[in-house]
Amino acid sequence: MLIDREILEDIFKWISREEIVILTGPRQSGKTVLLKIIEKRLKAKDENVVFLNLEDEEILEYLNRTPANLLKLAPVKDNRKIYVILDEIQYLNNPTNFLKLIYDDHREQIKLIVSGSSAFYIDQKFKDSLAGRKKIFYILPLNFTDFFSFKGKKELLDTTGEIFSLDSSGSSPLNIIQQREMDNLIEEYMLYGGYPKIVLETDFSIKAELLQEILNSYIKKDAIEADIRSRDKFFALLRILASQAGSLVNENELANTLAISTSAIRHYLYIMRKSFHIHFVEPYYSNVRKEISKMPKVYLFDTGLRNRILNNFEPIDFKLDKGEIFENFIFKMLADRYGFDTLKFWRSQAKNEVGFILVKEKKAVEVKYNSSLFKPKKYAFFQSKYPDFSFHLFHRQGEPGVTEQNILSHKI
């Protein structure tokens, strides 16, 4: 099923340029489908398009002999530019050298649009030789808007407006039936995540089984291709991180817990980050001596994968870790909207903490599953230290209940 995603608009801004368009991200995140949509749109404009899947061993072997063989598979006709779409570029023996040679020698005739999994993105293959020659797009599990599109409920999200916008109170004109449907969809997203195949599946038991397949694929392929020898330790670390989403990452503690070296922990964390399964949110500080924590906080890109790792798909309200799931969910929503690298958190020496900081937007966000757990006085120090930041509370249960005029409450 070919369903458009928001990122396509940004991708097509680069289709007419010379740079190589690279789609990368975790396995099963929808890269191939996006390439198929790009192919369909280009053909609708009567463009010359060739689609090559490098999982085809015959094509792979042919291109591995020499990059020049691409000109035989995708011959230029009538001096018209040809769009060459290469799926699974990481299977080439030397993908960066292949792309560099084609770009340097043939960019006026050939436009390259390629996909590559984490194995391609990891530094051993993805080298600086493509500097200035590429535009990378990260294809991650569906954002919330795409999730509603895949569920055929885009009009419901349109009715609510920008519910994750920090420029409004998050209120919406939904009636009781619509609100119940919205709540059910939000819970489904928190429980099963945003991998496209999972979202399209309607049977919840099969969703859980498909997530297990994705997890197995991740362990077997990403870990093996990264030359991880102790996969049991690798998975044990992933499980710990999943159970502690939103917590500080202390490499020494993790090494002691798993009885391995800190260098091994660093290597495992590096592979997990490059495989697009975990993300570090770095601390925000204006004075290193006072805001001393340099340890990042960890979140998973997909809450469904997190719940699969922990083998727990109970309804959110019955979960002991519902606060962690909700915080990870808000992390993904804010990161999709404002950018993953723009998110920070704040923590003082006295362990006062604010969940998320958007430095450029001058906004601070705290997350509590129930608004009754939010105590405004605990954040007075931050507000006095950064008076130019607006302060926001995201919660799932409870009424706004925040009387301070300078705190905006968003019920999700």
**pLDDT for 267-284, tens place per residue?**
999 999 988 999 999 999
∠ CA 139-162-331, rounded to 5°: 50
pLDDT at 218: 74
| Same domain for 274 and 238 | yes
Q: Residue range 391-398: average pLDDT?
A: 89
Last residue of a domain, one of 110, 139, 168: 139
| Same domain for 154 and 132 | no
pLDDT at 169: 54
Residue 401 clears pLDDT 70, i.e. is over it: no
Last residue of a domain, one of 89, 114, 139: 139
| Same domain for 158 and 120 | no
**Could you tell me if residue 133 is inside a domain?**
yes
Residue 1 clears pLDDT 90, i.e. is over it: no
**Could you tell me if residue 199 is inside a domain?**
yes
Residue 168 clears pLDDT 80, i.e. is over it: no
| Same domain for 223 and 280 | yes
**Could you tell me if residue 250 is inside a domain?**
yes
Look at the alpha carbons of 220, 226, 228, 231 in this order and tell me if their dihedral is positive or negative.
negative
pTM to 2 decimals? 0.90
**pLDDT for 94-131, tens place per residue?**
898 999 999 999 999 999 999 988 766 655 555 567 88
| Same domain for 340 and 252 | yes
| Same domain for 191 and 114 | no
**Could you tell me if residue 2 is inside a domain?**
no
Q: What's the structural domain count of the chain?
A: 2
pLDDT at 291: 46
**Could you tell me if residue 375 is inside a domain?**
yes
**Could you tell me if residue 66 is inside a domain?**
yes
pLDDT at 154: 83
| Same domain for 295 and 407 | yes
User: Domain span at residue 132?
Assistant: 7-139
| Same domain for 285 and 331 | yes
| Same domain for 84 and 169 | no
**Could you tell me if residue 1 is inside a domain?**
no
Q: Residue range 328-336: average pLDDT?
A: 94
Percent of the chain predicted with pLDDT > 70: 89
**Could you tell me if residue 58 is inside a domain?**
yes
pLDDT at 179: 82
| Same domain for 132 and 149 | no
Residue 139 clears pLDDT 90, i.e. is over it: yes
| Same domain for 302 and 233 | yes
Q: Which one is predicted more confidently, 129 or 249?
A: 249
**pLDDT for 212-241, tens place per residue?**
999 988 777 788 877 888 889 999 999 999
Backbone dihedral angles phi then psi of residue 86, each to the nearest 5 degrees: -115, 115
Residue 59 clears pLDDT 70, i.e. is over it: yes
Distance from C-alpha of 170 to C-alpha of 257, rounded to nearest angstrom: 41
Look at the alpha carbons of 106, 112, 114, 119 in this order and tell me if their dihedral is positive or negative.
positive
